[in-house]
Amino acid sequence: MNVKTRLGLLILLLILLAVPFLGGNYMIYIASLMIVVSIAALGLDILTGYAGQICFGQAGFIAVGAYCSAFLMKAGVPFWLSVPGGGVAAGLSGLIIGLPALRIRGHYLALATLSFAYIIHLILVHWESVTGGPRGLVVSRPTWPSFFSQDKYYYLVILFVAIILFVVARNIVRSRYGRAFLALQKDEIISRAMGINLTIYKTIAFVISSFYAGIAGGLYGPLLGFLDPLSFSIMDSAFYIMIIVIGGRGTLYGSIVGAAVYVFIPELLRRAEFFQELFFGVIFLCFLILMPDGVVGFLRRHQSSLFGWISRTGLLTPVERKGGVEDGARFLKTAPILTALSSPSLARGTGNELLQVKNLSIRFGGLMALSDVSFHVDTGEIFSLIGPNGAGKTSTLNAITRLYEPSGGTISFNGEELLKLRADQIVQKGIGRTFQSVGILGGLTALENVMVGFHASHRGSGFLQTALGARSARNDEAWRREHALEMLKLVNVEQHASDLATDLPFGQQKLVGLARALACNPRLLILDEPASGLSPMEIEHLTSLIRSLCRQSGLTILLVEHDMNVVMGISDRIAVLDFGRRIAEGNPDEIRSNPLVVKAYLGEEETA
Amino acid sequence: MLALLQLIIDGTILGCTYAVCAIGMVLIFKATDVVNIAQGELMMMAAFFAYTFQVMLGWPFFVSLVAAICSTILLSLVVERVVLRPLMKAPVWTSIMATVALMVILQAGARVTWGPEVYHLPPFFGSATIRLGGINLTALDMAILSISVIYMLLLYLFFKFTMTGKAMRAIQMDKEAASFMGISVRRAFSYVWALNGILMGTVGILLAPRLGVHSTMGLLMLKGFVVAVIGGFTSFAGSVIGGILLGVIETLAGVYISSAMKDIVSFVILILVLIVRPTGLFAESMTKRV
């Protein structure tokens, strides 16, 4: 965090701290409400804005937190424990709902959470003996120390909790976890190849979101002194989605802005109370169509032209992009290239089989994409898989990295059966890959793209340390940044480290993908057409890089490539696929002179 | 035994309305990848239209029903043109959120226009009941049952045999390829929304006398989501079977367990289905290519 950011936050904090001493009771109430709402929105922003999962049930989770902490307080548990208790209860309910629903595509989660919120609402209304039903439930303020029951001091309690939760949220989104959330939002396939277990990470985001909602609920009850099922309707859940979209999805600050809009609109429209919901709905729709980034996103994009002075406070700088190249460059001076890659256990050229593919078949419906293909890749060699379009090369790679389910055959890596593993476990075994299409995560910088590659190879601190901003977590983050930059240097893209990866030319995007695969710290590097779209100069650099990765760093390389100069120039052995079958295997000279191969590429010569 | 049979038939009739709603959702989802959260609100608007024409303006019965359905189609088309078309190029979540905005706007708009009261429509065809071997069916029941069946049949024929229906199926499979074949994706989007307008308009006027007309009556159609999920979100047959199944289970649970359970049970089923068979009970298999 730089000085300007600190200054900006300090000013905001001072304003918030001044509210109870400058404003009247009503002002304090409104400000308290805004902060409570923004806590719940903050959680939802991590889930929806970062992890990209749409949740329509935030009010349901708030209700769980609010009622559970009210019950705890009734049972004599002090306020200070019952509020976290409400958070935990909501988090658990998030786990129960989320685990099944997150396994499938996004809209199921939306529907499951909508249903959840509806069930909660029905339970609140119908289970009168416990929840008080439509008559509501009276909740008391904290009784110790006694002055906290005054509006003024209760406001400070809420503010204090909110600040802690904001810092935690910020720590999370700026860490390995936040990057995994963004990655899975942008591209689930790349994320899996980088070792991100989608179910686990979506669930983590979901539990964080519902925990925040639960805490907000726990604070909400004592604020109003009263809980009413009507405040937790489906409509209220929808409002939380609107809040983060209006404020700016995936920005954290947006949830504060959105909450302010949500709480203050009714104040502006007090005379026309009837129109509030309608008005808010229309505003939301306008934002969706005209300004989908929300207020904060819009300001960020136009910060230099619109708000020079605000941007100088650093408040609007994207949270996850702080400390780019300069931070890394400091570490880089002495760092030898490839430190991250060198692994003492690797012996080059021992000739043992690292990867074995036996009788592999892949079927798409009635189409045999691959039938009965066998080959093996020896440790320390460059093995190429070539063949005309549609021969099944990429399908083979996808089967090895477990993105496709083969219909038959076995694949073993280093003596271990790969078909027993999930796609996200492959990278842990030491297999890194690039993709034929660009395979870049949009919305992330080149550097961040590479840092995603460290997800499995450099785990570092645990979740709690990360969330609480422990020194070790920050050091790990610096390590990742430093080494990611090293990887970018290796592929000659380091000057674009802090540019959005999707803004780079096609060839450089592919190189970023290669750098990311290297960050996985692989023993076997799988390259799917790395040279396509590269300029001749870039190809030359790529070829020598691949060669040195293999010869000097001991990496084994499985290459799929159309550029025959590259393939013939660097391969130790080559296998040729045609129509899903292996038609030849051998060293470059043998392949070049093999009549079957020539026929596959050029077609059979017609005899007149 | 007869009482049970009566309940199963009542459940089937209720289930038919869920099924029609789910079919509308599946239609939109398959063609546009959008889950329409405002499905129930379209039904609610249809009910209000029917109330306005029939009771407030005193139009003849059939005229007001037809006018109500036409108004719902019109509303559906306006929604498609004004809200969803500008978002066609944006990520899908934006469109889904837009339907959430619609839910809020239509609900709040109805409250602003007609007030928060519950209005009553006179039962269709009077209160005549038909007795079939001890089973009571009101004329309205018969109408719901037969119209649902006719709609399902018509939709099947439409997609199977008409050129427009075939074009729309092509779009559901591959938008890009379909548009290369000269099929207008935009026009197909309008078609699915218009079709959905017919479906929800009909459900709205059929359910209005039963439920009473009020701004939150659309919540009932959350069951349509449950049915769509049970059916795997892509299958019309799944929607029909799932809808009837849910209607029956719900009615039985309402009588044999407790009336509060009537609503809760369906969402419990939803969560169970998501746990046990997340792709739905009748999903068409889909393999995503990399």
B236 touches chain A (CB under 8 A): no
**Residue A398 token pair:** 């996808």
ipTM value of the model?
0.83
Which of these, A110, A340, A339, lies nearest to A240 by C-alpha position? Answer: A110
Instruction: Look at strands A382-386 and A556-560 and give their pairing.
Output: parallel
- Taking the CA atoms of residue A148, residue A151, residue A155 and residue A157 in that order, the dihedral angle to the nearest 10 degrees is 10
B275 touches chain A (CB under 8 A): yes
Lowest mean pLDDT among A238-252, A350-364, B62-76: A350-364
Residue B191: how many other CB atoms lie within 10 Å? 21
Asked whether the beta carbons of residue A289 and residue B219 sit closer than 8 angstroms, the reply is no
| Residue of chain B whose alpha carbon sits nearest to that of A122 | B264
The helix (H) or strand (E) run that includes residue A589 is helix A588-592
What single-letter amino acid sits at A22? L
pLDDT at A335: 35
SS3 A291: coil
Residue B289: how many other CB atoms lie within 10 Å? 9
Asked whether the beta carbons of residue B274 and residue A403 sit closer than 8 angstroms, the reply is no
The predicted-structure confidence for A47-84, as pLDDT tens digits, reads as follows 999 998 888 899 999 999 999 999 999 888 888 899 99
The predicted-structure confidence for A476-528, as pLDDT tens digits, reads as follows 889 999 999 988 998 888 888 888 888 888 888 988 999 999 999 899 999 99
Band of pLDDT at residue A329, cut at 50, 70 and 90: very low
**Residues on chain A touching B284 (C-beta within 8 angstroms):** none
- CB-nearest to B260 from A54, A103, A126 is A126
Asked whether the beta carbons of residue B90 and residue A278 sit closer than 8 angstroms, the reply is no
B143 touches chain A (CB under 8 A): no
The segment(s) of chain A belonging to CATH 1.10.3470 are 24-320
Asked whether the beta carbons of residue B101 and residue A281 sit closer than 8 angstroms, the reply is yes
Asked whether the beta carbons of residue B287 and residue A280 sit closer than 8 angstroms, the reply is no
**Residues on chain A touching B109 (C-beta within 8 angstroms):** 278
CA distance A556 to A522: 9
End-to-end CA distance of chain A: 77
Q: What is the DSSP letter of A319?
A: G
pLDDT at A4: 65
| Residue of chain A whose alpha carbon sits nearest to that of B29 | A107
Which one of A48, A58, A107, A275 makes the best mutation probe of the B interface by having the most chain B beta carbons within 10 Å?
Answer: A107
The predicted-structure confidence for B118-166, as pLDDT tens digits, reads as follows 998 887 766 677 887 778 888 888 888 889 999 988 988 888 888 888 8
The rounded Cα A3 to chain-centroid distance in angstroms is 28
Contacts of B265 (CB under 8 A, 6+ apart): B249, B250, B253, B257
The rounded Cα A409 to chain-centroid distance in angstroms is 33
Q: What is the DSSP letter of A469?
A: T
Instruction: Look at strands A556-560 and A573-578 and give their pairing.
Output: unpaired
**Residue B143 token pair:** 């109408």
Closest chain B C-alpha to A239 CA, distance in angstroms:
9
What single-letter amino acid sits at A326? E
Count of A–B CB contacts within 8 Å? Answer: 130
Which one of A97, A131, A285, A401 makes the best mutation probe of the B interface by having the most chain B beta carbons within 10 Å?
Answer: A285
Closest chain A C-alpha to B130 CA, distance in angstroms:
35
> Are B10 and B60 spatial neighbours (Cβ–Cβ below 8 Å)?
no
CA distance A208 to A192: 21
pLDDT at B126: 67
> Are B194 and B102 spatial neighbours (Cβ–Cβ below 8 Å)?
no
Q: What's the mean pLDDT when you consider all of chain A?
A: 84
Closest chain B C-alpha to A9 CA, distance in angstroms:
31
What is the 3-state secondary structure of A521-578? CCCEEEEECCCCCCCHHHHHHHHHHHHHHHHCCCCEEEEECCCHHHHHHHCCEEEEEE
Q: What is the DSSP letter of A604?
A: P
B77 touches chain A (CB under 8 A): no
B101 touches chain A (CB under 8 A): yes
B74 touches chain A (CB under 8 A): no
Asked whether the beta carbons of residue A56 and residue B108 sit closer than 8 angstroms, the reply is no
What single-letter amino acid sits at A95? L
Q: What is the DSSP letter of A142?
A: P
Q: Return the beta strands (E) in chain B as ranges.
A: 129-132, 135-138
pLDDT at A303: 64
- CB-nearest to A112 from B103, B271, B289 is B271
> Are A332 and A487 spatial neighbours (Cβ–Cβ below 8 Å)?
no
**Residues on chain A touching B219 (C-beta within 8 angstroms):** 118, 234
Can you spell out the DSSP letters for B78-117?
A: HIIIIIIGGGTTS-HHHHHHHHHHHHHHHHHHHHHHH-SP
**Residues on chain B touching A103 (C-beta within 8 angstroms):** 274, 278
pLDDT at A8: 76
pLDDT at A271: 65
Ramachandran quadrant class, A165 (left: phi over 0; alpha: psi -120 to 50; beta: rest):
alpha
Which of these, A318, A281, A566, A608, lies nearest to A448 by C-alpha position? Answer: A318
Q: Which of A171-185, A273-287, B86-100, B212-226 has the highest mean pLDDT?
A: A171-185
> Are A238 and A58 spatial neighbours (Cβ–Cβ below 8 Å)?
no
Asked whether the beta carbons of residue B274 and residue A284 sit closer than 8 angstroms, the reply is no
pLDDT at A32: 93
| Residue of chain A whose alpha carbon sits nearest to that of B106 | A278
Residue A463 has pLDDT above 80, yes or no: yes
Burial A417-448 (b: 16+ CB within 10 A, else e): ebeebebbbbbebbbbbbbbebbbbebbbbbb
Closest chain A C-alpha to B82 CA, distance in angstroms:
10
- Give the residue ranges of DSSP H helices in A23-78: 25-44, 58-74
Asked whether the beta carbons of residue A104 and residue B274 sit closer than 8 angstroms, the reply is yes
**Residues on chain A touching B233 (C-beta within 8 angstroms):** 107
pTM of the entire predicted model: 0.86
What single-letter amino acid sits at A278? L
Closest chain B C-alpha to A185 CA, distance in angstroms:
11
The predicted-structure confidence for A544-567, as pLDDT tens digits, reads as follows 999 988 888 889 999 999 888 899
Whose tokens are 């995603």? That residue is: A452
Give yes or no for a cis peptide into B123 (omega within 30° of 0): no
Whose tokens are 């979101």? That residue is: A209
Closest chain B C-alpha to A451 CA, distance in angstroms:
23
**Residue A191 token pair:** 């994320």
The highest-level CATH class for domain A24-320 is mainly alpha
| Residue of chain A whose alpha carbon sits nearest to that of B270 | A112
Share of chain A above pLDDT 90, in %: 32
Asked whether the beta carbons of residue A284 and residue B101 sit closer than 8 angstroms, the reply is yes
- CB-nearest to A122 from B108, B233, B264 is B264
Phi, psi of A360 (to 5 degrees): -75, 130
The predicted-structure confidence for A4-27, as pLDDT tens digits, reads as follows 667 877 888 888 888 888 878 888
CATH for A353-430+522-602, options being 3.40.960.10, 4.10.1240.10, 3.40.50.620, 3.40.50.300 = 3.40.50.300
pLDDT in tens, chain B (290 residues): 788 888 998 899 999 999 999 999 888 888 888 888 899 999 999 999 999 998 889 888 889 999 999 999 999 999 999 888 888 888 888 888 899 899 989 999 998 899 888 998 887 766 677 887 778 888 888 888 889 999 988 988 888 888 888 887 787 777 778 877 777 878 888 888 999 999 999 999 988 888 889 988 888 888 888 888 888 777 888 888 989 999 999 999 888 888 777 878 888 888 788 777 766 776 554 444 44
Burial A568-579 (b: 16+ CB within 10 A, else e): bebbbbbbbbbe
The predicted-structure confidence for B98-123, as pLDDT tens digits, reads as follows 998 999 899 999 988 998 889 988 87
Which one of B39, B114, B267 makes the best mutation probe of the A interface by having the most chain A beta carbons within 10 Å?
Answer: B267
The segment(s) of chain A belonging to CATH 3.40.50.300 are 353-430+522-602
CA distances from A247 to A39, A240, A315 (A): 13, 11, 14
Closest chain B C-alpha to A166 CA, distance in angstroms:
25
**Residues on chain A touching B242 (C-beta within 8 angstroms):** none
Closest chain B C-alpha to A73 CA, distance in angstroms:
28
> Are A238 and A288 spatial neighbours (Cβ–Cβ below 8 Å)?
no
Closest chain A C-alpha to B231 CA, distance in angstroms:
12
Asked whether the beta carbons of residue B278 and residue A100 sit closer than 8 angstroms, the reply is yes
Residue A320 has pLDDT above 60, yes or no: no
Between residues 164 and 223 of chain B, which touch chain A (CB distance below 8 Å)?
219, 222
Which one of A55, A115, A122, A279 makes the best mutation probe of the B interface by having the most chain B beta carbons within 10 Å?
Answer: A115
- The number of residues making up chain B comes to 290
Whose tokens are 């990399």? That residue is: B290
HSE, CB side, 13 Å, CA atoms: give it for residue B78.
9
pLDDT at A304: 62
- CB-nearest to B274 from A101, A241, A278 is A101
Average of pLDDT values for A96-102? 77
Closest chain B C-alpha to A461 CA, distance in angstroms:
32
Which one of B79, B87, B89, B100 makes the best mutation probe of the A interface by having the most chain A beta carbons within 10 Å?
Answer: B100
The helix (H) or strand (E) run that includes residue A363 is strand A353-364
Residue A178 has pLDDT above 50, yes or no: yes
| Residue of chain A whose alpha carbon sits nearest to that of B271 | A112
Closest chain A C-alpha to B94 CA, distance in angstroms:
7
| Residue of chain A whose alpha carbon sits nearest to that of B262 | A122
Asked whether the beta carbons of residue B264 and residue A119 sit closer than 8 angstroms, the reply is yes
Closest chain B C-alpha to A596 CA, distance in angstroms:
29
**Residues on chain A touching B234 (C-beta within 8 angstroms):** none
